[in-house]
Amino acid sequence: MEEVGTMTNLKKFKNKEELLEELSSDIVELLQDEIEEKGKASLLVSGGSTPKPLFQKLSNIDIPWEKVIISLVDDRWLEPTHKDSNELLVKENLMQNFASKAKFVGMFIEGKTAYESDEDCSLTYEDNVFPFDVIILGMGGDSHTASLFPENEKLKEAYDLKNENLCISIKPDTAPYDRMSLTLGAILSAKNIILHIEGEEKLKVYEEALNSKDIFKTPISAVLNNERLIEVYHA
Ligand SMILES: O=C1O[C@H](COP(=O)(O)O)[C@@H](O)[C@H](O)[C@H]1O
The number of angstroms, rounded, from the C-alpha of 123 to the middle of its chain's C-alpha atoms is 18
Distances (CA, A) of 231 to 25, 154, 200: 14, 27, 18
Tell me what pLDDT residue 131 has: 98
> Which ligand 1 atom lies nearest to the CA of residue 50?
10
pLDDT grade for 6, boundaries at 50, 70 and 90 = confident
* Pocket flag, ligand 1, residue 140 (CB < 6 Å): yes
pLDDT band at 5 (very low <50, low <70, confident <90, very high): low
Q: Is the CB of 219 under 6 A from ligand 1?
A: no
Q: Mind listing the domains of the chain with CATH numbers?
A: 7-234 (3.40.50.1360)
47 CB near ligand 1 (under 6 Å) = yes
CB-CB contact of 108 with 79 (8 Å): yes
- The answer to whether residue 218 scores a pLDDT higher than 60 is yes
For ligand 1, whether the C-beta of 53 sits within 6 Å is: no
Ligand 1 center–CA 15 separation, angstroms: 20
Which atom of ligand 1 lies at the shortest distance from residue 76's CA? 16
Indicate if the pLDDT at residue 100 is higher than 80: yes
**pTM value > 0.90:** yes
Res 4 pLDDT > 90? no
Residue 47 alpha carbon, nearest atom of ligand 1: 14
Pocket test for ligand 1, best of 90, 94, 139 (most atoms within 8 A of CB): 139
- Tell me the pLDDT tens digit for each residue of 47-97: 999 999 999 999 999 999 999 999 999 999 999 999 999 999 999 999 999
Report the nearest atom of ligand 1 relative to the CA of 198.
10
Does residue 1 carry a pLDDT above 50? no
Question: Which residue is closest in CA terms to ligand 1's atom 7?
Answer: 48
The confidence score (pLDDT) of residue 227 equals: 87
